Amino acid sequence: MIAIIDYGMGNLRSIHKAFEHVGHPACVTRSPAVIADATHVVLPGVGAFPDCMRNLERFGLIDPIHRAVRSGKPFLGICLGLQLLFTEGEEFGPHPGLALLKGRVVRFPGGAGLKIPHMGWNRVKPIRPLTLFRGIAGEAYFYFVHSYYVMPEDASIVATTTRYGIDFVSSIQQENLFACQFHPEKSQAAGLALLRTFGGPP
């Protein structure tokens, strides 16, 4: 069973439906016991960085997230669920994150006629072989909605980059932990393929 963490913010229904569509049973939960028993864990997120961190603390979900990552089970962060994994975010900040990965979350620079937030389809470029991109052709397009991006201290965890005025990190991978700035649940065939691979054999 895939546990989708519910901390009161995020597009939980669309993620849940996407996993069901590709044949993987999933549940939306804020129960530490259910998260601990799950075979896979997903941390979604939509909203402001500090509000999400407050909700994670309020619902007692910070320790279960740390334990899930340390356990070695597949863990997927989506959009703000990627950003929260890092040391610090500057949105209304600075504010501490989960500190599972070292680095900062910063706002896109203005200028160059680019609209902020970065919203819509954009190309994702893998910079090393990725299991979750198996069956996804070349530099596929995925759907983004965000004003901030991650700056990892450790360049070796960078999995993909995307161009929007600058080349920013659009996903990371470290052992069992994969997290992406784009929304696979909104990215049609490529996104569903990624979720299908993440969940393993149904």
Q: Which residues, including other chains, have CB under 8 Å from residue 18's CB and lie 6 or more apart?
A: 184, 185, 191, 192, 195
Is 40 a known active-site residue? no
Task: Write the CA distances from 74 to 65, 106, 173, integer angstroms.
Answer: 12, 26, 11
Pairing mode, strands 101-107 and 148-152: antiparallel
Q: Which of 24, 40, 146, 183 is catalytic?
A: 183
Kindly tell me the burial class for residue 92, based on how many C-beta atoms sit within 10 Å of its own C-beta (0-12, 13-18, 19 or more): exposed
* Residue 93 C-beta-side C-alpha neighbours within 13 Å: 20
Whole-number Å distance between alpha carbons of 164 and 117 = 11
Q: Which of 16, 24, 180, 185 is catalytic?
A: 185
Is 183 a known active-site residue? yes
Classified as helix, coil or strand, 181 is coil
Q: Which of 79, 91, 118, 180 is catalytic?
A: 79
Structure-token match 């680095």, residue found: 103
Is 139 a known active-site residue? no
C-beta of residue 197 within 8 angstroms of C-beta of residue 144: no
Please identify every residue annotated as catalytic: 79, 183, 185
